[in-house]
Structure 1
Amino acid sequence: MDGHHQREQGGAVAEADEATVRRAVTGAALGNAMEWFDFAVYSYLITSITAAIFPEFDPTVRLLSGFAVLAVPFVVRPFGGIVLGPLGDRFGRKRVLATTILLMSGSTVAIGLIPSYATIGVAAPILLVLARLVQGFSTGGEYGGAATFMAEYSPTRRRGFFGSFLEFGTLGGYVLGAGLATVFQLTLSEQDMVSWGWRIPFLLAAPLGLIGFYLRNRLDDTPAFQQCEQAGAVTSAPFKEVIANNWRQILNLMGIVVLLNVADYTLLTYMPTYLTQVLDIDATEALLLIIGVMVVLMLCMAPVGALSDRIGRKPLLITAAVGFLVLSYPAITVIGTGGVLGVAGGLLVLGLLLLCILATIGSTFPAMFATRNRYGAFSIGYSVSTALFGGTAPFVITALIASTGSTTVPAYYLMGAAVVAIIPILVMPETAQVPIHTHPTVVPGTNRRVPVTAR
């Protein structure tokens, strides 16, 4: 265990040393990488998956069915946040995060093992939906916990830098999944892809999950949670307290997450289908363009996170919101030209705006809540907003394009999300350089004050 790396100072657990922080960051980021690895594989191979799992439909109906299954986990994601998040405040971040990564990787592997519709009939799509429901429940407690784990291990002055690796994991998982999908599509025939090729990337989730589980289990719980335990300030009624004490901050977080998730899922999950099905761009060309943009964002992630430590989180977040409001329509219009340079340029504009959010949220959101209720409040707000506006984005955009015939629908959707996010960003407190577990708070039901909050 690595608890010996945490120095005792005046009875409180001090900041962990950098080697321990790096292990904590890696273990937390792997869970997010796992989630987005699955989304990338599913969205890039959706044609092959639906051909194997669903009965014969009109191509558009089959595609909508596939996207509906993509959105299914978001129905139960809030329940995962409501159940697992408060448990992380009651029993510790480490225990819950070890559970979520096993559930996520196990259900991803299960998808790769589902027999085809030709073999077991309607049971095939039913099993797919069940596996996706398990994924949704586990991810409801994963993201808030992973962000909390990173933030509570990170030193205050570098929380933006280390927190940015949460979304580095997002893009890393996505690039790995999309890259594997591209390789399989280039090397296998369409018949082989439908028969067995699409399954292989899902099965590779097993070693990724085991590595993440191992890294998380090697560490003690976070210094902030240990400090909370030592002070006798761990909550005994986590869900009730979360809602009573944090509902304003939760609503604020939800407003910002609307833009984050609409942009994230539009760019990463829906765009491959938009380029190939709506704009008739060659599938391989579309895959490579999006992967290229994601690699650029990965290279910029840590520097932008470090920048937020210097200039604050709010300037970057408001830049993203105003940028999406002003630039989404021009970017989608340029992408709509179908030329390589136009598509690459439009994707890069949207990607860089998204980067301003991705690089800062891992350090911003955890600092909005007290240690005592942080995991639960973050998880509930994030998972509810994501359920409503994240995974549903590809389905909604596909349906709107089909009904209106307009190829600029994604731009209007992004602009609407930006309008929603601007006010929450403006009213939120600046959290850069604010220690997340050094200020005192009163334990409910007592007059005792303990240093466990993030105010």
Structure 2
Amino acid sequence: MVSESTIATPSKKQRRLAVLASSVGTVIEWYDYMVYAFLATTIAAIFFAADNPGIGLLSALAVFGVSFLFRPLGGIIFGHIADKFGRRPSLVISVVGMAATSTLIGLLPTYVAVGILAPILLVLLRAVQGLAAGGEMASAATYTAESSTTGRRGFDVSFVNLGLVIGTGLGAIVVGVLYAALSDEQMMTWGWRVPFLISVVLGVVALLIRRHMEESNEFESMKSQAQVKKSPLVTTFKEQPKEVFLVTLMNLGSFAAYYIAFTYMSTYFVTQDIMSQSMASWSSVLSLLIAGITIPLAGRLSDKIGRKPVFLAATGALVVLAYPLFVMMKQGLVFAVLGQVSFGIIEGAYLGVLLAAYTELFKASLRVSGVAIGYNLSSILAGGPAPYISQWLIANTGIAESPAFFVMLASGLSFVAALFGFKETAFKPLPGQKVTDASLAGGRNIRFDTSLAN
């Protein structure tokens, strides 16, 4: 016999507060996580004793990649917290952990002061940041999706990835200002610490916002009926392994494009003598701004025409255009900026649709765990390695455009997965929800089928 309960559809105010709490927290968390990438060339000189600057840079990028190894573990931990104890505590703990470790990185001694201990401590703190990052996106996307309505879910959830882009852009702005205002000596002695220490203030802001979040209605319903799973991770692999695998494949292209176009590209422009470090940072800011504009537009479009068409258009564009864009960027400053902006538009469309699609694949009791596992497995395969592989490919092939091959491969796999494995989810309630016509239009009540959701 089907067990149902009635869940009040969130009011417009509740929906907006959910979007605000999720996206603002994501801005701050991803500022903390990504600022490292924009300081890669300086960190390489400060923390790694290498006679060859290229080896030092590869070491710094390898540490960037190390944090991704811990993201699936973070997804497991925070997925367990979110699916068993609530979305709210998962979001609060993750943002506090990220801000605290970022601040500690800003206080680290350098290689000159303590020798090999410096890079060891750096690796450990980046690992902790990887744990915190592993739970953020899935928890925030799930919380927002469960606080939205069917006709607006793509638009509302897109703001979580907008927060990712704004946080990355904020990091690029802070670093760009420092490189422009300070001498090389000042950056090496104390300037590099400033972006990390700013995390103290940002962390307090995020904590204050997320402490006042209300718990998801769907989670509260499951909890009241004792339908919360004892082991969400085990149950996810038992009941929805295909969905986890699908999310992993569909997300490969986004990670590859994001970490090459928005984080590695500043290093690429400098090492290829296309522009200065300061100019490279501002080019990244511009491309992130364009991506930020594109994200909610793509999310809204996906509410109208479906997730799948937007997904296929974005991944297909990356496969076809990645190499020509890299060729164009080698032609000079203006072409480089235009090329990076073009990447921003395509990646913005990708980011605008993906999280909503992922949350719509999983039952409520497994939603954060399922999204987090698939999302973070793809981060190991395509996100963390992207800057390192890009630099390695250029060094070993002598082909400046070779990072495009990595983007094309990852995006091609995502295109195939979306084409053959993904069934449209845009025009349906979340799995387990029973809705009336009124609720589809933003009405008052949603009927929630707990036998399907658990």
Checking the alignment, whether the CA contact within 8 Å between 2:33 and 2:102 is kept in structure 1 is no
CA distance in 1, matches of 2:26, 2:380: 16
- Select 1:408's aligned residue among 397, 401, 408: 401
Checking the alignment, whether the CA contact within 8 Å between 2:173 and 2:285 is kept in structure 1 is yes
1:221 aligns with 2:220: no
1:238 aligns with 2:232: yes
**1:39–1:99 Cα change, 3 Å:** closer
1:24 aligns with 2:18: yes
1:370 aligns with 2:376: no
Computed over aligned residues only, the root mean square deviation of the Cα atoms, in angstroms, reads 1.8
CA shift for structure 1 position 147: 1.0
CA distance in 2, matches of 1:453, 1:159: 20
Matched position secondary structure for 2:7: strand
The one-letter code sitting in structure 2 at the alignment partner of 1:322 is: G
Q: Superposed, which structure 2 residues align to 1:67-146 within 5 Å?
A: 67-146=61-140
CA distance in 1, matches of 2:51, 2:415: 41
Q: Superposed, which structure 2 residues align to 1:116-265 within 5 Å?
A: 116-265=110-259
Checking the alignment, whether the CA contact within 8 Å between 1:372 and 1:453 is kept in structure 2 is no
CA distance in 1, matches of 2:338, 2:451: 46
CA distance in 1, matches of 2:377, 2:262: 20
Residue 424 (structure 1) aligns with = 417
Checking the alignment, whether the CA contact within 8 Å between 1:24 and 1:215 is kept in structure 2 is no
Checking the alignment, whether the CA contact within 8 Å between 2:29 and 2:95 is kept in structure 1 is no
Checking the alignment, whether the CA contact within 8 Å between 2:274 and 2:330 is kept in structure 1 is no
Q: 1:262-300, CA deviations, whole angstroms, 9 ceiling, x for partnerless residues?
A: 011111111101111024422222222221121122123
Matched position secondary structure for 1:432: coil
CA distance in 2, matches of 1:113, 1:283: 24
CA shift for structure 1 position 11: 4.8
Q: Tell me the matched-pair count.
A: 437
Matched position secondary structure for 2:332: coil
The one-letter code sitting in structure 1 at the alignment partner of 2:449 is: V
Residue 450 (structure 1) aligns with = 449
Q: 1:72-93, CA deviations, whole angstroms, 9 ceiling, x for partnerless residues?
A: 1111111111222123111111
Residue 328 (structure 1) aligns with = 322
Checking the alignment, whether the CA contact within 8 Å between 1:33 and 1:170 is kept in structure 2 is yes
Q: 1:72-131, CA deviations, whole angstroms, 9 ceiling, x for partnerless residues?
A: 111111111122212311111111211111111111111101012122221111111111
CA distance in 1, matches of 2:202, 2:378: 27
Checking the alignment, whether the CA contact within 8 Å between 2:179 and 2:277 is kept in structure 1 is no
The one-letter code sitting in structure 1 at the alignment partner of 2:270 is: T
Q: Superposed, which structure 2 residues align to 1:279-298 within 5 Å?
A: 279-298=273-292
CA shift for structure 1 position 60: 0.3
- Select 1:357's aligned residue among 350, 360, 363: 350
CA shift for structure 1 position 138: 1.4
Residue 374 (structure 2) aligns with = 381
CA distance in 1, matches of 2:48, 2:432: 54
Percentage of pairs with the same residue? 33
**1:37–1:165 Cα change, 3 Å:** same
**1:393–1:453 Cα change, 3 Å:** farther
* TM norm structure 2: 0.92
Matched position secondary structure for 2:449: strand
Residue 7 (structure 1) aligns with = none
The one-letter code sitting in structure 2 at the alignment partner of 1:378 is: V
CA distance in 2, matches of 1:450, 1:271: 47
Residue 444 (structure 2) aligns with = none
CA distance in 1, matches of 2:23, 2:51: 38
CA shift for structure 1 position 437: 5.5
Is there any run of 5+ residues in structure 1 with no aligned partner, and where?
1-9, 441-448
**1:46–1:17 Cα change, 3 Å:** same
Q: 1:8-65, CA deviations, whole angstroms, 9 ceiling, x for partnerless residues?
A: xx95221211222222222222343234313442122222222222224310010001
CA distance in 2, matches of 1:186, 1:393: 27
Checking the alignment, whether the CA contact within 8 Å between 2:91 and 2:136 is kept in structure 1 is yes
Checking the alignment, whether the CA contact within 8 Å between 2:393 and 2:403 is kept in structure 1 is no
CA distance in 2, matches of 1:38, 1:391: 16
CA distance in 1, matches of 2:452, 2:339: 42
CA distance in 1, matches of 2:231, 2:169: 40
Matched position secondary structure for 2:240: helix
Checking the alignment, whether the CA contact within 8 Å between 2:286 and 2:341 is kept in structure 1 is no
Checking the alignment, whether the CA contact within 8 Å between 1:434 and 1:454 is kept in structure 2 is no
CA distance in 1, matches of 2:272, 2:30: 23
Matched position secondary structure for 2:9: strand
CA distance in 1, matches of 2:72, 2:51: 31
CA distance in 1, matches of 2:192, 2:60: 14
CA distance in 1, matches of 2:235, 2:355: 23
